[in-house]
Homo-oligomer: A and B are copies of this chain.
Amino acid sequence: MPERKPRADAVRNRESVLAAADRLFATCASPEDVTMADIAAAAGVGKGTLFRGFEDRTGLIRALYESRLEPVRHAIAEGPRPLGPGAPPAERIPALLDAVLCFKLDHRHLSVALEGTGSDSPYRAAHYDWWHGTLRDVLEQLPGFTDGDFTAHALLAAVRADLVDHLADRRHVSRERLRADLAAFTARVLGGS
């Protein structure tokens, strides 16, 4: 195995870049206001270091996003009820969607940056396939569900970063109100009552 352990300064710089990027995206109104040069300067490294470590702009944002998402992913893949795999579908589906919503609320800047990253449709990203596959599988455990595929897409669309961001920031809908609305919508999709 040609696994080489990376140099210490490289590791340090990587952390430094991720931290700086997170800070900048959180601060600035629009992700487009944050340039690669800005991030490099804020992290105290050269621009070349950014591109060597993360391939390109999308790669950097994705790395940052995935690092923040990891706990949620873990909780879903092997955590306790109601999020983990042990929960019954009717309980787990609303929990999944609520988790996505909360994550996007808490990491609005990152999510908007990732989903709006130029022409890279969010649907081509690996993490979307994971979300969609997970949700679809749980949906299809419900009796009588034949089109879990489309339903999963539609439900995930309801929590897209720019919509969440618009409702929370522009229209000043509170976090609890949003969660309640989404829960109600989910309940209706899952079959009334």
A interface list, Cβ under 8 A from B: 30-32, 116, 118-119, 121-124, 147, 149-151, 153-154, 157-158, 160, 162-163, 165-167, 170, 178, 181-182, 184-185, 188-189, 191-192
**Which residue in B31, B167, B182, B191 is a CB contact (below 8 Å) of A188?**
B191
A187 and B167 alpha carbons, distance in the complex (Å): 25
A-B contact pairs, 18 of them (CB 8 A): A31-B119, A32-B118, A122-B162, A123-B162, A123-B163, A123-B170, A124-B166, A147-B184, A149-B181, A150-B178, A151-B185, A153-B158, A153-B163, A154-B154, A154-B182, A154-B185, A157-B157, A188-B191
The 6 tightest CB contacts between A and B, nearest first, are A150-B181, A157-B157, A154-B158, A123-B166, A32-B119, A30-B119
Q: A157-B157, A157-B163, A189-B189 known; A182 and B150 CB under 8 Å? A: yes
**Which residue in B121, B181, B192 is a CB contact (below 8 Å) of A147?**
B181
Contacts of A118 in B (CB 8 A): 32, 116
A182 and B170 alpha carbons, distance in the complex (Å): 28
Return A27 CB to nearest CB of chain B, in Å. Answer: 15
**Do B192 and A150 have beta carbons less than 8 Å apart?**
no
Return A187 CB to nearest CB of chain B, in Å. Answer: 10
**Which residue in B123, B166, B182 is a CB contact (below 8 Å) of A121?**
B166
Return A126 CB to nearest CB of chain B, in Å. Answer: 14
User: A193: nearest residue on chain B (CB-CB)?
Assistant: B192
